[in-house]
Amino acid sequence: MSAAADKVFCAGVALEAATGDMADALRRLIDLRARNATFRVQNRAPWVVEQPGADHIECMTSGSAGHPKVIRRTLSSWRDGFDVNVGLFGLGAQDRVAVFGTLGHSLALYGVMEGLHAGAGVEFLAGLRPDHQAARLRAARASVLYATPTQIRVLMDGETFPDVRLILCGGGALDTDTLSRARTAFPNALFREFYGASETSFITMSDDATPDGSVGRAYPGVEIDIRAQSDGVGEVWVKSPYLFEGYAEGESAETRREGDFLTVGELGRLDEAGYLWLAGRRSRMVTIADRNVYPEEIEKVLAGGLSGRACAVVAFADRLRGHTLCAFIEGAEDEALERHLRQTVRDELGREMVPRRFRFLTSFPLLATGKPDLRELARIGTSDQAMGKVEGQGI
């Protein structure tokens, strides 16, 4: 076992003694990293597979529309980001970093790799119940967390974690309620949310002055250009040392390069202070009564009133208006909540942005990443239409 492996724990057990597919994969990952070998990280066992060549990593990803792709990048493109974070946050041997997802989740993989790079201890907590994860965080005195908003929410149950000094949050925005509760649960932690994609790595990171609703300013080394603007919103193009090389498998029509710049089809605007405000993916933008509508904007407003429950807004074709919207909400039917959410969207975005229909789902379809499965939600909505469950209005 290498010196790096000696500081890694899998589900609370020293990696040297840990058993199971994930422990085997962690040992293999550490070995391949030490040899600068090329490897692919999969969404199932054996999780980590050596590939021909050197200095490359291939990660499987599936967006909300469910189309699988394999991202290929150089290991050095991630190491550049590791060095930035070491400098920004003082990551080092004194830290114990904790991750919660499997290696197939890019945030967990990034956290493990960055922890190893910094010489920190690593607590790999995938597979443990949230209460057991919380107990291990306290026992190990973990100081740095790499977590999604959902993972942060399930950890908090009246407990406090005073040893945590830094939380790097990705995979979605922290809603106001979750952030408020998290500041109590992690009283000494610096919270930094980041925005990026598998193809780009970091694009922006929040700071203490980031306005509510913004995803922060450009991450060190990143240049952002907003192109083809309409009403101040345009396509987000990025130039940085952290970009991927290309797709080893699959493709995306949204991902395009022009010289040193790349876009993944995200739309947004930059304010005068350099903060980025996202509108949504170009592929999800629809026209309703001759107005451009971004479902992601509505989802953000809905999420603020749902205390962490899943939600998504899906557009369906409509003969008269171009499209209509259906808001899918996790949970049982709740007329009072629906009225509140309708009023909130109307107050913040205007009556034209209020979804025509709200659909509550006790079993909400999610991808392995924890994001809503938009393709399955579209199927549910189309089935509702076919069965006449939309009261003759269309969805």
Mean pLDDT of 301-326: 87
In a domain, 87, yes or no: yes
Q: How many helices (H) and strands (E) does the chain have?
A: 9, 25
pLDDT in tens, 112-145: 999 999 999 999 999 999 999 999 999 999 999 9
* CATH code of the domain covering residue 81: 3.40.50.12780
Residues 290 and 345 in one domain: yes
pLDDT in tens, 210-230: 998 899 999 999 999 999 998
Stretch among 62-71, 74-83, 186-195 having the lowest mean pLDDT: 62-71
Residues 6+ apart with CB under 8 A from 60: 40, 41, 42, 43, 68, 69, 70, 71, 104
Residues 176 and 315 in one domain: no
As given in the structure block, the two tokens for residue 264 are: 């993944």
Q: The whole model's pTM is what?
A: 0.79
In a domain, 271, yes or no: no
In a domain, 233, yes or no: no
Residues 6+ apart with CB under 8 A from 31: 2
pLDDT in tens, 333-376: 999 999 999 999 999 888 888 999 999 999 999 886 678 888 89
Residues 139 and 184 in one domain: yes
Predicted confidence band of residue 97 (pLDDT cuts 50, 70, 90): very high
